[in-house]
Amino acid sequence: MERNNESSGGDFILLGFSDRPRLEMVLFFVNMIFYFLAVAGNSTIIFLSLVDPRLHTPMYFFLSNLSLLDLCYTTSSIPQMLVNLWGPYKTITYVGCVIQLFAFLSVGGIECILLSIMAYDRFAAVCKPLQYMTIMHPQLCLQLAAFAWLSGIANSVLMSPLTMSLGRCGHRRINHFVCEMPAIIRISCVDTSRVEGLAFFLAIPIVLVPLTMILVSYGYIAAAVLRVRSAAGRQKAFNTCSSHMVVVSLFYSSIIYMYMQPGNIASQDQGKFLTLFYCLVTPTLNPFIYTLRNKDVKCAMRKVLGKDRSLLDAGGH
């Protein structure tokens, strides 16, 4: 009875970087800037994809989903972290901790699968350009996006209650700045091997299978690019895929390091900075990586800013 009570209520203390007050102040201002850029950048991608007819394509549909996921990542953790970094109180309610854990597990799973879908979309665009719009028709895009969202949420629905139900023997000091699964597992006072084993098992379809699909897709893309004779054609194909390759590399490198090993092995400081990287830095960089050399997005932005009135004319027709 005591174990049930201590596993199901009360506030947690997020220690974060409380042993380094100067670092906390630096991180507060840096994270605030990155958070503003992440929200502005990803919101802009979603807005432009909705209002500009030329962006009503499978690539931008999936990119909008990725931007929405990045907004969920940052919003579920960074505001709470900024409060804890600024003030002396480092607490988070039990409900708040559950919400953070659920958001991290679900959004992480969704993004893994979504990135593999985006790789397949690039494979169809490069390797089967004449059949691209037939293959990636709107109904299939909706089905693939729904599959990604439902799979990630199902993973979180299973793992979040199991993680939070682990006995903690009164331990409420989490040596992290968010309620993330490895950090919560560390404060448990019972055998966690079953939960960690299940997490590793579920990581196979959620993390490794999508990663394999991405590698296979880009293997075919690389072979197709090498068959292109003109330098201009190869450059165009490379530009089509390079942004996605960078995003995949940034996201998967940190996720695999964090979640494909037991919670007590990873260095706790490394875990904090890796979490900060993929819940703030990566969502901030994604909009810029995808749009830096993208003429369609730049043109859409000029239209929204009033430098080109053709968008309004197109909307009227």
Instruction: Say which residue, 245 or 30, is predicted with more confidence.
Output: 30
Q: Is the pLDDT of residue 7 over 60?
A: no
Considering the domain boundaries, does residue 277 fall inside one?
yes
Mean pLDDT score across all residues of the chain: 84
The helix, strand and coil proportions of the chain, stated in percent and rounded to the nearest 5, come to 80, 0, 20
CB 167 within 8 A of CB 3: yes
Considering the domain boundaries, does residue 313 fall inside one?
no
Give the list of residues 6+ apart from residue 191 with CB closer than 8 angstroms, or none. none
Considering the domain boundaries, does residue 77 fall inside one?
yes
Kindly report the CATH number assigned to the domain that includes residue 225: 1.20.1070.10
What is the per-residue pLDDT for 265? Answer: 45
| Residue 48 lies in domain | 11-259+268-303
Distance from CA of residue 305 to its chain's centroid? 29
Considering the domain boundaries, does residue 28 fall inside one?
yes
What is the per-residue pLDDT for 274? Answer: 79
Considering the domain boundaries, does residue 240 fall inside one?
yes
Q: What is the pTM of this model?
A: 0.85
Which position has the token pair 């990630």? 152
Q: Is the pLDDT of residue 157 over 80?
A: yes
pLDDT cut 90: percent of the chain above it: 37
Q: Is the pLDDT of residue 155 over 60?
A: yes
Q: Summarize pLDDT for 52-77 with one digit per residue, the tens.
A: 888 899 999 999 999 999 999 899 88
Number of domains in the chain: 1
Considering the domain boundaries, does residue 155 fall inside one?
yes
Considering the domain boundaries, does residue 312 fall inside one?
no
Considering the domain boundaries, does residue 314 fall inside one?
no
* 244 token code pair: 């996605």
Mean pLDDT of 90-108: 92
Q: Is residue 292 very low, low, confident or very high in pLDDT (cuts 50, 70, 90)?
A: low
What is the per-residue pLDDT for 2? Answer: 40
Q: Is residue 4 very low, low, confident or very high in pLDDT (cuts 50, 70, 90)?
A: very low
